[in-house]
Amino acid sequence: MTRPHQVVIVGGGTAGWMAANLFAHHFADSPVELTLIESPDIGTVGVGEGSTPTLKRFFECLAIPEHEWMPACHATYKVNIRFDNWSPASGTNSYSHPFISQLDVHSERAFHVNCLTRRLGLDVTTTPDKFLFNGYLARHALAPVTPPHFPFRMEYGYHFDSGKLGTFLKERAIAQGIRYVQDNVAEVHQHPDNSIASVLLESGQQIEGDLFIDCTGFRSLLLQQTLKVPFQSFSENLFNDAAVVIPTAPQPVVPVETRATALSHGWAWQIPLTHRTGNGYVYSSAYCDATTAEHTLRQHLGLGESDADVRHLSMRVGQTQSQWAKNCLGLGLSQSFIEPLEATALHLVQTGIELFLEHYHKGDLSDRYQSEYNATMHERVERVRDYIVAHYKLNSRDDTAYWRDNRNNMALSESLLQLLDVWFRKGDLVQEIKRQGLQAHFSTSSWHCLLAGYGAFPPIRADQPEKDAHQHDLFAQRNLAALFDGCRLNFRAHNKVLSGHSR
Ligand SMILES: Cc1cc2nc3c(=O)[nH]c(=O)nc-3n(C[C@H](O)[C@H](O)[C@H](O)COP(=O)(O)OP(=O)(O)OC[C@H]3O[C@@H](n4cnc5c(N)ncnc54)[C@H](O)[C@@H]3O)c2cc1C
């Protein structure tokens, strides 16, 4: 494929508008013409309110300051995910997965060493949020925004109203000069080699292009329906295929974390926004029907049977065999979806665009690069999937067949099996993660948070004097509690920082 001059994005969900903004930014000085087509009839998925820290880079790259976009999207800061009730049998009923920041250079290694010491049977501290500063911020509802002199860069993500984010990005892309067409794609026309030549709209207008970006959501109009790229389902590994969503009132003290609470047939998210709290229950329809799921979520939220708006959604979990086929790049739900436990979908959209643009700037869109791109993205999605699968594999709930079946499920990738093997054999997990190159997907500390958070440890050695454990406990030895208390002085209450944005 040669360098494109006419790029056509089909779909105006978050994926489409993210792509429009990044492409417009990168093609600002080149003669590339960008068009986005959005159906006036088919709505967007309209959920997806949490991000990873990658989204911070998205706004930085486009030079959009937080005080501009955050109030417009009712956004809040996110530094952590708190997991409740996933592993009651281990005694660690709630744990944190904080985003790793530069400040953790002082404590991250101590966390890994303590986890190894604990795996060897000594009773030392392994609570992730005692070692990782964003966990500390989450406990105290402090915003991760630092004063100008602060010598460490904080990593964080956001919570946001996805509909408002779509509108914000749409208005911005149109202001940047992107051609916007509101119509339904009725037909897709192909060249003799099957690549896409043009799309015919219901109005009769024909739009030609040399690169097409499929952002049509689960429909996958171009990639799957037209180019017949096969879809690889992850239903063997990830059972959840449905969600029910109910918003509630905003919280008076706005948390800087997402809550993921395990319920009888899945888990419920709680996402704090400035104007409301987003809640949803992600579950498996093979174990629980929609009415029961809605009832469970209402009970969890303390709502009556008719209070509040409710939406039911179905999800198709997996990925297409290739992300880039012929002259079509799939982004967002048209290409892959992994259930939202770690809020990775937009992260993968952004990664997909950035990697494509990297190839574009090298001036090489040849078949070799296309294969390389597809292999890299495939690997990304699979390794993200494995991290999510590990949450289900390690659960110690016994209340339903759903949790027992998840725990007993052996449909695990070779990569995940090896990783768990190293952990349980008391091997060097840091080395294993490096050997497999897994840190590109989830960091070494993220894996430690998950495994330690679930209390996946052998029993404490009975023959070990208490003072030995104390001597080996790097949390106590390094006096990390005092370090974090000292750093706290640089951070302000989340509510205060948010109200500063809207002034
Ligand atoms: C329950 C749930 C929770 C989620 N939580 C998170 C989260 O916390 N974090 C996260 O990052 N992601 C999350 N996601 C994923 C996230 O919602 C999506 O990745 C994101 O919204 C992007 O969707 P999309 O743009 O690919 O598709 P959609 O939003 O479905 O947009 C599809 C677009 O294509 C257009 N279209 C379709 N057919 C045609 C046609 N024939 N002609 C013209 N236009 C057409 C539609 O009009 C629409 O504009 C979640 C998803 C679900 C289901």
Ligand 1 mutation pick, 9, 55, 215, max ligand atoms within 8 A of CB: 215
Ligand 1 mutation pick, 10, 36, 42, 338, max ligand atoms within 8 A of CB: 42
Ligand 1 pocket residue status of 108, Cβ below 6 Å: no
In angstroms, what is the span from residue 245 Cα to ligand 1's centroid? 15
Residues classed as catalytic? 78
Is the CB of residue 259 less than 8 Å from the CB of residue 270?
A: yes
Give how far Cα 494 sits from Cα of 123, 154, 251, 259, Å: 35, 15, 12, 16
Ligand 1 pocket residue status of 333, Cβ below 6 Å: yes
Q: Whose CA is nearest to atom 16 of ligand 1?
A: 48
pLDDT at position 503 is: 60
In angstroms, what is the span from residue 68 Cα to ligand 1's centroid? 24
Ligand 1 pocket residue status of 11, Cβ below 6 Å: yes
Nearest to 442 by CA among 357, 358, 372, 338: 338
- Point out the ligand 1 atom lying closest to the alpha carbon of residue 41: 47
In angstroms, what is the span from residue 368 Cα to ligand 1's centroid? 30
Ligand 1 pocket residue status of 49, Cβ below 6 Å: yes
Q: Can you tell me whether residue 438 is helix, strand or coil?
A: helix
Is the CB of residue 50 less than 8 Å from the CB of residue 343?
A: yes
Give pLDDT tens digits for 221-255: 999 999 999 999 999 999 999 999 999 999 999 99
Burial of 338 (0-12, 13-18, 19+ CB in 10 A): buried
Burial of 380 (0-12, 13-18, 19+ CB in 10 A): buried
Structure tokens at 151: 């010598």
Cα–Cα distance measured from residue 350 to residue 70, given in angstroms and rounded to the nearest whole number: 19
Using DSSP bridges, classify how beta strands 311-314 and 242-245 pair: parallel, antiparallel or unpaired.
antiparallel
Ligand 1 pocket residue status of 439, Cβ below 6 Å: no
pLDDT at position 81 is: 98
Ligand 1 pocket residue status of 36, Cβ below 6 Å: no
pLDDT at position 444 is: 96
Q: Where are the domains of the chain?
A: 6-49+161-234+318-383, 87-142+413-488, 242-314
CATH 3.50.50.60 assigned to domain 6-49+161-234+318-383? The reply is yes
pLDDT at position 4 is: 77
Residue whose structure tokens are 């990390």 = 480
Cα–Cα distance measured from residue 341 to residue 83, given in angstroms and rounded to the nearest whole number: 10
Q: Whose CA is nearest to atom 49 of ligand 1?
A: 12
Residue count of the chain = 503
Amino acid at 201: L
Q: Could you say which residues of the chain have pLDDT below 70?
A: 1-2, 363-365, 466, 502-503
